[in-house]
Structure 1
Amino acid sequence: MLLCLRIENFALIDQLELDFGAGLNVLTGETGAGKSIILDAIDAVLGGKVSSRVIRTGTSRAMVEATFTTNPPLAAWLTEQEIDLIDDNSVVISREITVSTSNIRSRSRVNGVLVNRQIMGGLRDRLVEITAQGQTVQVGQSAQVRDWLDMYGGDTLIQQRQHIGTAFSAYQQAHTNLEKRRTSERERLQQLDLLTYQVQELSTANLSDPQELEQLQQERERLNHVVDLQQMSYKVYQALYQTEDETLAVSDLLGDSEATLNDMVEYDGQLQPLLDLVRDAQTAITEVARQINTYGESLEADPQRLEEVEERIRELKQICRKYGPSLTEAIAYSEKIQAELAVLNDSEQSIESLEQQEKVCFDKLTQSCQKLTQLRQKTGATLESRLIAELKPLAMEKVKFQVEILPIVPTSAGADKITFMFSPNPGEPLQPLTEIASGGEMSRFLLALKACFNQADAAATLVFDEIDVGVSGRVAQAIAEKLHQLSQHHQVLCVTHQPLVAAMADKHFRVDKQTVTQGKGKKSNNGSSEQRTVVRVTNLDDLTTRREELAQLAGGKSASDAIAFAESLLTQAANHRQGQRS
């Protein structure tokens, strides 16, 4: 329920604070007095579209703040959105709108937390629903009518729609996969040819060791320098172990050094470590000499092996240029394209499997849609009888109404086009509601529709903007009673010109325009004090002022007959409320 609405610099409102109550809250006033501005402010604070025109002339910032009561489901939803509760009873929503020379900006907060448009949309659905005669466009939209019918059908129907949403997503994905596969067939065949050639070439190359190229290059160097290596090996062997002239080899020198150190150790034991080092060196030199001699003797020229190595090196370098740049990367690429080739080969049969998969998904979607259609037909029949019953007290005793359900291509919301068919007069055929209903008939239809949704509506506050335009007399009284009926389960805010409706209010506000002098000592361009138009709202909380307002609505002036009529309306409304309570 909307507890309080605070408005600053919004359209013609400079500052305004309204405290609403439970039951039926009515706003009255002359045409153009600013009643709809208040409803526009409610719409704006709940995330509705705004333009720079909503900011009061001469200012750059507008602000609307609304305080609502909470309930356990709303509190749980706010907690899910990570919005802290101020207390257990209320939630405060504010929207600040600023304008500059280039653009308009707005920021919405819930309990002081900045929120985005998506959260505001979810909050709006849980708090307020606005109904106006201008909703004729919505009534003509199949999607909106479908949503109304599904909401009237309750959880079973909504859950079936959710099943369809899942089935439709699965079908769309299967269809997309199939179309993608079909359109890429030429590319697949081209890729298949390319990868087949590459895999064959890489397989023929027999790649296995990432170090093979480096090892072959080393082997080539060795085969190209066999003679040099033999000569150098023998030279090293002579230098280390055995010379052909009188020059002493390294091993001989170390032997002499070892003998000398051995004599020295007999006199000074501290030299023993040095002696050990020389002995170790002697052993190492001897081993090196042996191995280098064996290496040199094992070397021999092998022209055939050299040619084989050269050929393999050329082959591997060619592979690296095409698939490398290194042999490691070429091997990795080979493994990768083998896997890709396996997938492409498997895809030769994938069109048939994808077609089958698409058919299975479509069949599931169709079956779900058929079940939803059956539920809608059953719900439509219930709504037809219920709505006709709600319309009869609104001076539409002979009305005919039908929920027309026609098949369409399956969508995420089912396979039905839903239209409200209407005939207000006997003998006239059913036609789409938006094509045949007058303004007054549309007002009554919307009100009756809302009465049908009385128990299903999640919103605690229902707003009606001049829903009674175009009606009078007995019909206006019926509308007043219907609004009062709704107010037993919801808070109702209603903008009206009908004294019969206003008399039924639990709380009555009069809206009017006043001219005030803005700013102490402030002068206009011509030197006079600046006059500004503002909207003012008066809470008619006493019988006298309320009676006078009803008299104004009924007779245009507070004449005695108009006052008497207003008193009769108030008495009649009190009797109706008393009858409802009893």
Structure 2
Amino acid sequence: MLLSLTIRDFVLIDKAEIAFTKGLNILTGETGSGKSAIMEALSLILGAKADAALVRKGQEKASIEALFELSPLDGAAALLNSMGIDSDDSVLHIKREISKEGKSRIWINREVATLASLKSLSPLLMEFVGQRAAKELFDVGNHLIILDSIGDLTPLRVTFQESFHALTEKRAELRQFTDSIDLARALFDKKAADLKEIEAVSPLEGEDDALFEEYSTLSNVEELKENLQGILDILINDESGVLSGLNAVRKKTEEYLRIDQKLKDPLEMTKEALANMKEVERTLSLRLSDLEINPERLYFLSERLKAIERLKKLYGPRLEDVLRRWKELKEELSSSFDADERIESLEQEIRSLTAHTDRLAQELSLARQNFAKIFAKKVTAAIRTLNMPSANFSVEMNIKPRSASGDDLIEFYLAPNLGENPVSVSKAASGGELSRVLLAIKLVESSTNTSIVFDEIDANIGGSTSAVIGKQLKELGERKQILLITHFPQLARFACRHLKISKKEEKGRTYTHIEALEADTREGELARMMGSCVL
């Protein structure tokens, strides 16, 4: 749910802080007052393309901030975590800045984010429904998408699509193979050569790191021995060595212990340090005796590392990738190259995939057929509450050539009046009818999205119808947060929160003013709107 929207230096808006609430939030105001700017700001928060023209004249940048309350059901918190963005699972903060040069910056929970991340997140936060959404009903291809989405058929369609694409790819593979047997044989031979090259080295897991560590030591033996000897000289020098110095400290401390018993702890620490230094001297001496120059071993390590690095460049970049490719090649080349055998294998896979895809297509068609009846009844019931008491909505389903969406052509039909034949929504619905069909669909939809923005959904309808729509939106607002721009007082009176958008001129500049109306001021705005309607 959208909690608040803060806008600075955006179009005519100098600064605005807008709080929203649950239920029906309505924005009203005269034409040109800035309502569209608020919708534009919301669309930018949801990932729309930035435009330098939106920055207020004379300012360096515009900024928009939105605060959302997250629901455990919307999946936004899980998506944030997958993006590596901190989330407290309850509140989400999004900020977007647009410079006067048109550059855009985005922060999600105060962490810099990409536009792609914002676009993937926004569908889980808010649905934006405008006149464009209603016009999308003119495209019959969208009817199937709507039916699948509302009927929770998308997972079944995705399963079908996976099988359909696998079948398409396998058929293409067979065509390519039969058209290019020589190419297939060359590919087999290339894999065999790759396998031979890897097996000539036969690297072991983690071998490159172990070899490099040993090589680094052997290649620096002389320097290491010289430095170790230097350290030992510091430790055991008869006159100025660390051990000699610690022994002298021990003797002096023991000598004066009879005078000052408080020297007992320093004496013990000196003895401990002396014992530690003797252990250091012993360990370094052993290591020095173990070090020896071994040119043969060094050469072997160098050549072995070169061979492994070559494999990593060809099949890597990591040794794990080489080992995985080695395993894949052995599996792929487990049998000798046989074109006829390969063709038969591909044809068998195609037969199996065809049967599987046919079954999924039938399941998908049956599920659509069953839900289409339920959907049509629900939309009909909803649209009859929108001042179309005799309207009838239906879903026609026909067979089409199979594609990634299945075998079905879905088309919505509307008979707006009693005694009329149903006509495709994509061809003959008026603007007002189209708006009501869209709203009816939203009324029966049960998506997990908790917020919907309606941008002038009441366009092309009359005042009496707007009152009916207002009542329905108020009921919808009991389940979802609704944001709506309207010019109808009949609709606006159902608002849980009423925001008045106006503009004023001051010192040669025009400013957009946003006011949350209380009961007394709200009546004045409704009266103004009523007067506009009368005129």
**TM-score if structure 2 supplies the norm length?**
0.68
Superposed, 1:351-500 pairs within 5 Å as 351-453=343-445, 456-500=446-490
Per-residue deviation, 1:359: 2.9
Question: CA 1:350 to 1:137, structure 2 compared with 1: closer, same or farther past 3 Å?
Answer: farther
**Cross-structure match for 2:8:** 8
Partners of 2:134 and 2:438 within 8 A in 1: no
Amino acid at match of 1:44: L
**Cross-structure match for 1:539:** 516
Per-residue deviation, 1:105: 2.5
| 3-state SS, counterpart of residue 173 of structure 1 | helix
Question: CA 1:413 to 1:346, structure 2 compared with 1: closer, same or farther past 3 Å?
Answer: same
Distance in 2, matches of 1:179 and 1:405, equals 34
Distance in 2, matches of 1:191 and 1:547, equals 79
User: Would you say 1:27 and 2:3 are equivalent positions?
Assistant: no
**Cross-structure match for 1:237:** none
Question: CA 1:348 to 1:88, structure 2 compared with 1: closer, same or farther past 3 Å?
Answer: closer
| 3-state SS, counterpart of residue 154 of structure 2 | helix
Q: Describe the superposition over 1:205-225 as per-residue Cα deviations: whole angstroms up to 9, x where unpaired.
A: xxxxxxxxxxxxxxxxxxxxx
Question: CA 1:425 to 1:539, structure 2 compared with 1: closer, same or farther past 3 Å?
Answer: same
Partners of 1:399 and 1:426 within 8 A in 2: yes
Q: Describe the superposition over 1:3-52 as per-residue Cα deviations: whole angstroms up to 9, x where unpaired.
A: 11011222222221101111111100112222121111111111122323
Question: CA 1:476 to 1:364, structure 2 compared with 1: closer, same or farther past 3 Å?
Answer: same
Distance in 2, matches of 1:426 and 1:68, equals 45
**Cross-structure match for 2:86:** 84
Superposed, 1:160-309 pairs within 5 Å as 160-185=156-181, 187=183
Question: CA 1:351 to 1:88, structure 2 compared with 1: closer, same or farther past 3 Å?
Answer: closer
Superposed, 1:114-193 pairs within 5 Å as 114-154=112-152, 157-185=153-181, 187=183
Partners of 2:185 and 2:337 within 8 A in 1: no
Amino acid at match of 1:46: L
Alignment length (residue pairs): 396
Partners of 1:45 and 1:66 within 8 A in 2: yes
Unmatched segments (≥5 aa) in structure 1: 200-338, 518-530, 563-582
| 3-state SS, counterpart of residue 402 of structure 1 | strand
**Cross-structure match for 1:510:** 500
Amino acid at match of 1:549: E
**Cross-structure match for 2:491:** 501
Question: CA 1:190 to 1:113, structure 2 compared with 1: closer, same or farther past 3 Å?
Answer: closer
Amino acid at match of 2:83: Q
**Cross-structure match for 1:97:** 98
Partners of 2:68 and 2:93 within 8 A in 1: yes
Distance in 2, matches of 1:123 and 1:380, equals 30
**TM-score if structure 1 supplies the norm length?**
0.63
Q: Describe the superposition over 1:148-180 as per-residue Cα deviations: whole angstroms up to 9, x where unpaired.
A: 2122213xx233123213212321331231122
Distance in 1, matches of 2:452 and 2:68, equals 13
**Cross-structure match for 2:43:** 43
Question: CA 1:404 to 1:116, structure 2 compared with 1: closer, same or farther past 3 Å?
Answer: farther
Q: Describe the superposition over 1:407-450 as per-residue Cα deviations: whole angstroms up to 9, x where unpaired.
A: 23333433322221222123333222131111111111111111
| 3-state SS, counterpart of residue 398 of structure 1 | coil
Question: CA 1:344 to 1:406, structure 2 compared with 1: closer, same or farther past 3 Å?
Answer: farther
Partners of 1:152 and 1:379 within 8 A in 2: no
Q: Describe the superposition over 1:326-360 as per-residue Cα deviations: whole angstroms up to 9, x where unpaired.
A: xxxxxxxxxxxxx9999784123323332332232
Partners of 2:413 and 2:424 within 8 A in 1: yes
Distance in 2, matches of 1:362 and 1:54, equals 53
Unmatched segments (≥5 aa) in structure 2: 194-330
| 3-state SS, counterpart of residue 394 of structure 1 | coil
Distance in 2, matches of 1:132 and 1:166, equals 32
Distance in 1, matches of 2:484 and 2:171, equals 49
| 3-state SS, counterpart of residue 72 of structure 1 | coil
**Superposition RMSD on alpha carbons, in Å?**
2.9
Give 1 or 2 for the bigger CA radius of gyration: 1
